[in-house]
Structure 1
Amino acid sequence: MGAFFTAILAKVVGFAEWIGRLFVAVFVAVWDLLRDVVTWPFDQLLDLAKSGIEGIDVSGITTNLSAWGSLPAEVSNILGLLGAGTAINIIASAIAVRLVLQLIPFVRLGS
């Protein structure tokens, strides 16, 4: 008679373990769904920004870059000694940071 109750108890314990695994699997699935619900709009916004940036025509900038190569060697040397390349990089970075900050809401206070 004791073996019968042991078998029944084993079945009940097995069923409880199965319910526990099922609960964990459902929780993980719901967690993944909620995480995807939050990240999907952000991903779509980034895709929209990417397509907008790809649509910008920068051919005017790239055609004028060849003018640096036509400068005489002495002028290029003096510009390098004066740090004109570094200054242009700093100015371009500052402009880029300012434009990116304009995209953030509530930061457009002073400009």
Structure 2
Amino acid sequence: MPQWLIDFGNWLLDILKTMANTILTMAKDAMLFIFEQMMILITFILDGMGTLFSGLDITSYMSGIPSGTAWVLSQIGIGQALSMIIAALTIRFFLQLIPFVRLGS
């Protein structure tokens, strides 16, 4: 077999390998771009949800409670407890919106 034909075959094989690697790299970059855009959207949504919980501070509603009772409630951490309960209920509500996650409730 002539050497020029072998060289041409090797050159063509190198070209095909380079094209395959390029296409795989482009596909990987496209998937990473989609993943990055989804993460940016999720970050935007979660940043917006922070304002939803700004009104959950129970201490602003304690002005009508006597000072002794308010002190006891603040010492036992009723504000943090109510915030945790509301956050848990919110997470449970959002999990109910996802199909196939409604296992226990």
Q: What's the TM-score, normalizing by structure 2?
A: 0.57
2:64 maps to what in 1? Answer: none
User: Which stretches of structure 1, 4 residues or more, deviate above 4 A after TM superposition?
Assistant: 53-56
RMSD over aligned Cα atoms: 3.4
Q: How many residues are aligned here?
A: 83
Question: Structure 2 matches for 1:16-27, cutoff 5 A?
Answer: 16-27=16-27
Give % identity: 9
| In 1: Cα distance, 2:90 partner to 2:44 partner | 16
* 1:4 shift after superposition: 0.3
Q: What's the TM-score, normalizing by structure 1?
A: 0.55
Larger Rg: 1
Q: Which runs of 5+ in 2 are unaligned?
A: 61-66, 98-105
Question: Structure 2 matches for 1:64-103, cutoff 5 A?
Answer: 85=75, 88-89=76-77, 91-103=78-90
Q: Which runs of 5+ in 1 are unaligned?
A: 62-66, 68-78
Structure number with greater CO (CA < 8 Å, separation at least 6) is 2
| In 2: Cα distance, 1:99 partner to 1:54 partner | 9
Question: Deviations for 1:64-91, whole angstroms, at most 9, x for unmatched residues?
Answer: xxx9xxxxxxxxxxx9xxxx84xx23x3
* 1:26 shift after superposition: 1.2
* 1:38 shift after superposition: 2.6
* Paired amino acid for 1:99: I
Q: Give yes or no for the alignment of 1:8 onto 2:8.
A: yes
